[in-house]
Structure 1
Amino acid sequence: MGKLGGRVLLWLFLLVTALLIVFPVVVTFLGSFMSNIEITKGGQIFPSSWHFANYKEAWVQANFARFTWNSLFLSGTTTIGTLIVASMAAYVVDRIHFPGKAIYVAIQASTMFISIGAVVIRPQFELMVKLHMNTNLWGVVLILISGHAYIFFILLSFLKGISRELDEAARIDGCSNAGIFWRIILPLMRPGLGVGALFTFCGAWNEYLRPLVFTMTNPKLQTLTVGLSYLRYGASAAVQTHYMLAGACLSILPLLVVYMVANRSFMQMTAGSLKG
């Protein structure tokens, strides 16, 4: 009876947690089909009439086509760059002995526990000014790639599960460290790379402050998270909550696609860790 009671409590906890997570998403989705008056009055979850035109207006007013492309560029290049840098760093740390390895790992770990948010925006911007990358998204990409510590440790833990005998066999055949990494290790790291790609893409896609700062002088390069703010007020300065909700739902779609693509890798890595 005690074990049954524990299972019931566990399932109740999971159910309540799931409801708390899903409920805001459902309310946002349903609200995106309401009129602005219905949302302002409140008191109802389901729309009295479905306004599908909200999505069309949100797409046009926020210039979604351009801003979506900018977000895809930022997220895609950041993901590719982060995976390359983090996987190479993880391979070197795990497979090659060099002076200062412990210090390097400690520095990587320390960056994960220090979060000072917007305080670092100014020095980052000044650095990009010196590199002449302060008026485009490449500066943001470079900054986001440099913050790869979390992905580095994910790939490092995954790399430790790959047998070193494969390296030794490749060296006997005359393969260099670079050849071992690109031809043997990297293909075997696909589940870890899939998980890293998922987290990196989502983080870059949701980035708001840096794209806002770096594209102030060039609004055409603004990302979708920045462009959504254009939906807040209409021509008459009235708050357009219904368009904002529709725009938010549209902005979630690419993340869902990336999750479905990377979900298999995530499950493989999770199953492997549980098995180990």
Structure 2
Amino acid sequence: MSRAEQPVHLRLVKSASRIVLWAFLLITALLTVFPVLMTVAGSLKSNAELMSGGGLLPQVWQFSNYAEAWRQTKFAQYTWNSMYLSIAVTVGTLLVAAMAAYVVDRRNFPLKSLYVGIQASTMFISVGAVVLRPQFDLMVKLHLNTSLWGVILILVSAHASTFFILLGFFKSIPREIDEAAMIDGSSFSRSFFTIILPLLKPGLGVSGLFAFRHAWNEYILPLVFTMTNPKLQTLTVGLANLRYGSSAAMQTHLMMAGACLSILPMLLIYILANKSFMQVTSGSIKG
């Protein structure tokens, strides 16, 4: 039945449902974007104007806030520390989680179900600051409490979500590929690195973005591990230090300017991983 042949009330229902859907999507988009717009606008205001309220747009555009935030937070140094931490955590998480997921999917071993259950339990049981002291004591024994490598190892160990994401991707790769590689004389580890891992690029892209974002936004662990060495502070810790200036007055405008600057690396990473997102989305639609 063509659109012209449909009853009037049916066309009205479809049009109304389409309007409701678009209204819902528009409201959701506005609620998502509005805080970002508020932050950008606040970063261009003076502190006095920001504290007194006023309109969304600044009366006088204070572009110098970005230069001041860069100077006070040692932005270049802290950004390098955050990039170093995030890249190391991302690479380590992908490597550990991918190898674990591959073995779980392709091999049977004792207590396999228990291992998967433990991985799942770490996703739903949040102990938070309870394990912070034991983690720090462990890194002290390993002599890693004065470097970012202690934070990197702790964050890499929290790879359960990445493990399950990659496990789902491994299940979509036919086992016949492994078997053919074994017949040609390829070892289990060689098949993983040279044949299977390249097929996992979409999953690695998505998982890597999540791992990078988690490490980039981490605050508590870098704060604890860099208390005795401020030069190793990450950007999140440095931005928090902007809250109060030398005169003990709140510097909200500088915090917002620093927050806007800190968003840029995440936007760049998202642009680079966008192709992987599109591949995953198209694959889920076809499935």
Q: TM-score interval w.r.t. the shorter chain? A: over 0.9
> Aligned partners of 2:14 and 2:122: how far apart in 1?
42
Name which of 164, 186, 197 aligns with 1:153.
164
Normalized against structure 2, the TM-score is what? Answer: 0.94
Task: Using the TM superposition, give the Cα deviation of residue 4 of structure 1 relative to its aligned residue in structure 2, in angstroms.
Answer: 2.8
Aligned-partner Cα distance in 2 for 1:127–1:16: 48
Cα displacement (A) at 1:82: 0.2
Counterpart CA distance in 1 for 2:275 and 2:163 is: 20
**Residue number among 232, 235, 256 corresponding to 2:246 in the alignment:** 235
**Residue-by-residue CA offset, 1:79-119 (whole Å, 9 max, x unaligned):** 00000000001110111111111111111111110112222
Task: Look up the match of 1:122.
Answer: 133
- Partner Cα distance (1:123, 1:215) in 2: 17
SS of the residue corresponding to residue 269 of structure 1 reads helix
1:177 partner amino acid: F
Distance 1:161 1:7 in 2: 35
For 1:40, the equivalent position in structure 2 comes to 51
Partner of 1:52: 63
Match 1:63 to one of 46, 61, 74: 74
Q: What residue is the counterpart of 1:256 in the other structure?
A: 267
In the alignment, the residues of structure 2 paired with residue 2 and residue 271 of structure 1 have an alpha-carbon distance, to the nearest angstrom, of: 29
TM-score by length of 1: 0.98
Moved more, 202-211 or 125-134: 125-134
Give the number of the structure whose alpha-carbon radius of gyration is greater. 2
2:194 corresponds to which letter in structure 1? R
Any unmatched runs of 5+ in structure 1? Answer: none
Q: Which amino acid is 2:124 matched to?
A: F
- Pairing partner for 2:280 from 244, 252, 269: 269
The alpha carbon displacement at 1:212 in A equals 0.3
Distance in 1 between residues matched to 2:167 and 2:15, nearest whole Å: 39
CA distance in 1, matches of 2:84, 2:138: 22
Q: What CA deviation, in whole Å up to 9, does each residue of 1:174-199 have, x standing for no partner?
A: 00100110010000000000001100
Alignment size in residue pairs: 276
Please give the alpha-carbon distance, in whole angstroms, between the structure 2 residues aligned to 1:109 and 1:3.
Answer: 42
2:143 paired with 1:142: no
Please report how far the alpha carbon of residue 136 of structure 1 lies from its aligned counterpart in structure 2 after TM superposition: 1.3
Per-residue CA deviation, residues 205-247 of structure 1 (Å, 9 max, x unaligned), is 0000000001111111010000012211222222111111100
Runs of 4+ in 1 over 4 A off after TM superposition: none
CA distance in 2, matches of 1:2, 1:162: 43
Distance, in Å, in 2 between the alignment partners of 1:233 and 1:169 is: 63
> 1:86 maps to which residue?
97
- Report which stretch shifted further, 181-190 or 32-41: 32-41
Question: Aligned AA for 2:22?
Answer: W
Identity score, percent: 66
In the alignment, is the contact (CA less than 8 A) between 1:33 and 1:242 conserved in 2?
yes
Q: Is 2:214 the partner of 1:217?
A: no
Greater alpha carbon shift after TM alignment, 14-23 vs 54-63 = 14-23
Match of 1:167 among 150, 175, 178: 178
